[in-house]
């Protein structure tokens, strides 16, 4: 029996690389799509078998001439910088590219799984329920979230028009953390930033709150460990999920203080936390709480327990220490 082969976009990214690594363990072949320079330059990816590598800018030409017997598409490639303000760039990279992949999946009858984002929920005034009837009411706080929202709405409209892959699933990623994210720099998780600060002998710096009803450090996020995200992606393909857009978080929000304290504990270092002003470019677009409702994901059969924050942070810190991976600044 021939092995399955998946097309994975964003394969040199954080979640993408972890997903590709998991495919090797499961005996799944991959076609890895990204900027070819990233695969060798990002040292955290050392040892991962990326299979066939295709330049993200040449993907559709490659697809036009290569009939590779793909078993599905896992679309994780995107600009994920929540401070990016170039609307034309976000439209091209996050919306139009995704639309072309969806259309290819429709034409060739391929299952299609893609990454959406909790950034689509904006300030949370509509809540964090992934009922698809609520999606048109969401108002993202930044252009990145808006680009993800636009694709979610477009996909639902395409389905209503009868233009859909045989199976499809979008996941609204909440705050993913874990090994392999250093190239994200400013957009990397607070776990990695806290790790670097503590190892440098400094205290951990957290943003002050700009709201009187939220104490400093008590801003909350639904932090989800990357291994749990990878499990959900495989579930969508293997179970499989027939269709729909789902939250992918733990269902429990934790504070940034919890996250910092878990990092100190994992390193065995006494806590030292400083609160600093929030940058001007974040203040108007800042989410003070995110917490996924995961009822619909549970209802379609995803029953795996989510990793606790403390266990996930400890596993992440242990991996960083094992690889002696401390604060290289020059990665692309």
Report the C-alpha gap between 298 and 35 in whole angstroms: 35
Asked whether 207 and 275 are in contact (CB, 8 A), the reply is yes
The token duo for 319 is: 């991996």
From 38, 114, 121, 144, the catalytic residue:
144
Burial of 129 (0-12, 13-18, 19+ CB in 10 A): middle
| Catalytic (active site) residue 286 | no
DSSP structural state of residue 51: B
Beta carbons within 10 angstroms of residue 40's beta carbon: 11
Catalytic entry in 89, 184, 288, 325 = 184
Residue holding tokens 């929540």? Answer: 82
CB atoms within 10 A of CB 268: 7
* Separation of alpha carbons 36 and 38, rounded Å: 5
| 172 is known as an active-site residue | no
Which stretches within 73-127 are classed as H helix? 87-90, 97-108
What residues are annotated to the active site? 144, 184
């Amino acid at each position: 029996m021939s092995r399955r082969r998946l097309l994975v976009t964003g394969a040199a990214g954080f979640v993408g690389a972890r997903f590709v690594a998991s495919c090797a363990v499961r005996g799944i072949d991959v076609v890895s799509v990204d900027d070819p320079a990233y695969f060798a330059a990002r040292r955290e990816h050392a040892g991962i078998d990326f299979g066939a590598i295709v330049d993200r800018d040449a993907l559709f030409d490659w697809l036009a001439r290569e009939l590779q017997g793909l078993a599905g598409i896992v679309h994780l490639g995107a600009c994920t910088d929540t401070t990016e303000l170039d609307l034309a760039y976000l439209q091209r990279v996050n919306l139009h590219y995704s639309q072309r992949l969806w259309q290819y999946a429709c034409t060739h009858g391929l299952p299609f799984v893609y990454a959406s984002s909790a950034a689509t929920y904006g300030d949370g005034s509509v809540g964090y329920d992934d009922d698809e009837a609520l999606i048109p009411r969401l108002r993202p706080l930044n252009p990145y979230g808006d680009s993800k929202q636009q694709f979610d709405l477009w996909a639902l409209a395409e389905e209503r028009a009868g233009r859909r892959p045989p199976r499809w699933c979008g996941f609204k990623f909440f705050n993913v953390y874990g090994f392999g994210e250093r190239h994200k720099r400013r957009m990397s998780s607070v776990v990695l930033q806290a790790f670097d600060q503590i190892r440098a002998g400094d205290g951990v710096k957290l943003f002050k709150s700009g709201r009187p009803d939220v104490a400093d450090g008590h801003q909350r996020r639904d932090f989800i460990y990357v291994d749990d995200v990878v499990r959900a992606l495989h579930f969508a393909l293997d179970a499989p999920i027939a269709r729909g857009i789902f939250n992918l978080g733990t269902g429990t929000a934790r504070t940034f203080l919890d996250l910092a304290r878990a990092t100190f504990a994992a390193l065995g270092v006494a806590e030292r936390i400083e609160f600093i002003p929030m940058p001007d470019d974040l203040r108007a677009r800042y989410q003070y709480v995110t917490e996924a409702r995961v009822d619909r994901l549970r209802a379609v059969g995803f029953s795996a327990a989510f990793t606790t924050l403390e266990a996930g942070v400890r596993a992440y810190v242990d991996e960083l220490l094992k690889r002696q991976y401390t604060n290289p600044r020059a990665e692309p």
